[in-house]
Structure 1
């Protein structure tokens, strides 16, 4: 399939490389299509194995008590992996653990990798699932020790053996080459610098001539995201121009995806990169404010005049006043509301034209009370209502990355972003500072989405 490839699988105490450790390693190496090495070993993780993991893998604390530590097998493992492509099912998982273990020893581990999940998808696109269990069932594989390292390696090898018989060696080789295709970097980009990019969440920035900002982007895996810009599959003229103009890049790691989104948005607004046009906001945003005691009961409010503390009386976000007015007209016509009473038409005294056409229930001429008309208006607007702030005061949303040991708390009040804290002192300052709240639609939409996620950690401030 490739001149040299090593299929590897790990068992671990959990899913997080910085917190969990390896308990078993198994690999099979092929050179020029011939198996040249087969090796497996238990590894003492130097920590307890959780009961769930013990029941899943069958590896218990007693089994690894006298097994070698990773540092004791590291040189042997490096010898097996020298000059070969590391292949694994969901290779990012196994590579992440190996990279972390080698980093603890002061070794920079950066092999070429191949994901056999992606390979399975290319070879068998008609199938939905490509996990080990699905592969075992699909290829009628029996007699394997599932959730043990060598058993999982054997499952992948048997899948590839079936693929050779069913599809042919050339199809497998073409799929592997496609996955292994290296992006072409511009001559001014240092290959070693790309290698230093972390595989963690963060924001990256491309610069052109005279250090002018070209593009600012984000990614949950910055290295993969940056490399995607240089992929041959990015064939649009815009992407090609961007790649040709890049002279320098830099990056900022973050605690998570929310932190990356917020930082990306702020940097784009501050630096206005030429290739981020699609993220530039419309500056005429407006919304309808409902005031039952006023006449008319609704009025348009521009973004700069929106009071975030009155979000429970705001309806819709529109790019301009014309769009907002047309939307309100459609709501009125659908619900037989009076355009004259809403202040959208001026028909003089008496009944409006819509009443004569039986499109208004007559609040304009006393046939419907103002109270009933107001209630019907509020009912009609419910679908467009912006969310009221669901907290008493300020909140913090905490993100922590085990991969890069970064903790960030983003502080909000009435949907307005107040800043980020990375220490107790800065959090205390943000919690107590008095700030003029200025509504921002991008922040509102982002926060609504984040708060709906169960994994979001919210802190009520001050605390």
Structure 2
């Protein structure tokens, strides 16, 4: 018989990267059947919300004098080492413990069994497999709910119950089904499946190291790193690109984030920096440019093309459109000029030779601003009206701002992503870093979250 550990945790929330453990319950079952139980309150180092207090019965006062996880980490590791990690919705508990151990410098790994999946496999005739459903269905004895040891005891009871209801052959078949890993590239270690977190973040596929160093083949992001990574390999038989990526992948790395915004920003920044060969989008955009309106005097506003990296995007500057290059920018302006009967010369698309009108006036499209038939100010107002659909959002703060997401703070300055901090010290260190070049993809991400930005004080 394999040594087992039935585990349940109580936490301050549902996100393993930003929330913390408040209680640990473990039922150890040795290979000879010996059972030991252990329970420990944990000081999460943060406030427990009233909702979680009511749900678990664990209050801020109860954990005030409890040890932090770092002080009990060695004890927890001793009780879990060498055992099959069994939990209900196991990814939740396993993910929290991995993150807590990671903060102490320990890379925790264990084989995992989820009793939700086990129940679905053994009892497919039932629709619900929550712990409350198992209590009712199998007449489990609950000494309390939403307390760590009580719930760990219920999981142990369910394990004992299935060995009464089902044959050993049925249980072994179910365990074999659950332990069957998805199809992976031949050069990847199958154990990576158990390591991939079910949290938001960025993942990196690496090939064989070359003379250019260990650079990634591909960088992606997802709300759930594990499912997103596995989706690449489940699709490799339908897409030549995915098949090539799968064949070349030798290693996978990842960066967990507090949420989707952080994942989007990290992905855009990493792709620009590392230039993976398989990323077709989010590549460097050094030639990105934008239109501004230059005051040429006498009421004449003339479009001027500038590289986006040279623009401050402040409240006092108006910019129109982000284009891959000057050619795309000119094509867009020309379509606006034609659609709104604007002057080619006054719009900067053509040069005036002597007193000759622009080509548009000759074809009766231009209203004659180039030869004095339309006042310059009136043409400028029509030009403004035509370009308003291209207007970019101005940077609304006099200096840097942050977007808070979980326990992370994303630092932004003039639409440039400076980095992510988890403490005030890290944030202030980022303030001293050099601003990166303007990036069109980062701008598009941040524009959707401008309402969440707050200026950096001090």
TM range (shorter): 0.5 to 0.7
Give, in whole Å, the separation in 1 of the partners of 2:277 and 2:454: 35
CA contact (8 A) 2:291 2:320 kept: yes
**Corresponding position of 2:210:** 210
**Corresponding position of 2:330:** 325
**Alpha-carbon shift at residue 373 of structure 1 (Å):** 2.0
Q: State how many pairs are aligned.
A: 422
Q: Is 1:343 equivalent to 2:343 in the alignment?
A: no
**Corresponding position of 1:381:** 387
Give, in whole Å, the separation in 1 of the partners of 2:390 and 2:111: 52
Give, in whole Å, the separation in 1 of the partners of 2:444 and 2:365: 35
**Alpha-carbon shift at residue 315 of structure 1 (Å):** 0.7
> 3-state SS of the aligned residue for 1:299?
strand
Q: Is 1:451 equivalent to 2:455 in the alignment?
A: no
5+ residue gaps, structure 1, are 30-35, 137-143, 158-169
1:276-355 to 2 correspondences below 5 Å: 276-281=279-284, 284-293=287-296, 297-303=301-307, 306-309=310-313, 312-345=317-350, 349=355, 354=360
CA contact (8 A) 1:207 1:214 kept: yes
For 1:381-435, what per-residue CA distance to the aligned partner results, in whole angstroms no more than 9, with x for missing partners?
Answer: 1221112221113x15377876xxxx776452x33455677887886676468x6
In structure 2, do the counterparts of structure 1 residues 428 and 298 end up closer, same or farther at CA, with 3 Å as the change threshold? same
Q: Is 1:184 equivalent to 2:187 in the alignment?
A: no
> 3-state SS of the aligned residue for 2:402?
strand
> 3-state SS of the aligned residue for 2:52?
helix
**Corresponding position of 2:91:** 92
**Alpha-carbon shift at residue 116 of structure 1 (Å):** 5.1
**Alpha-carbon shift at residue 293 of structure 1 (Å):** 2.8
5+ residue gaps, structure 2, are 135-141, 159-169
Aligned partner of 1:369 among 375, 387, 391: 375
Give, in whole Å, the separation in 1 of the partners of 2:48 and 2:216: 48
What's the TM-score, normalizing by structure 2? 0.62
**Alpha-carbon shift at residue 206 of structure 1 (Å):** 0.6
Q: CA RMSD in A?
A: 6.2
What's the TM-score, normalizing by structure 1? 0.62
In structure 2, do the counterparts of structure 1 residues 49 and 258 end up closer, same or farther at CA, with 3 Å as the change threshold? closer
In structure 2, do the counterparts of structure 1 residues 255 and 207 end up closer, same or farther at CA, with 3 Å as the change threshold? farther
> 3-state SS of the aligned residue for 2:456?
strand
Moved more, 258-267 or 316-325: 258-267
> 3-state SS of the aligned residue for 1:217?
strand
CA contact (8 A) 1:217 1:264 kept: yes
**Alpha-carbon shift at residue 340 of structure 1 (Å):** 3.9
For 1:42-77, what per-residue CA distance to the aligned partner results, in whole angstroms no more than 9, with x for missing partners?
Answer: 864567965332434566789999xxx999x97999
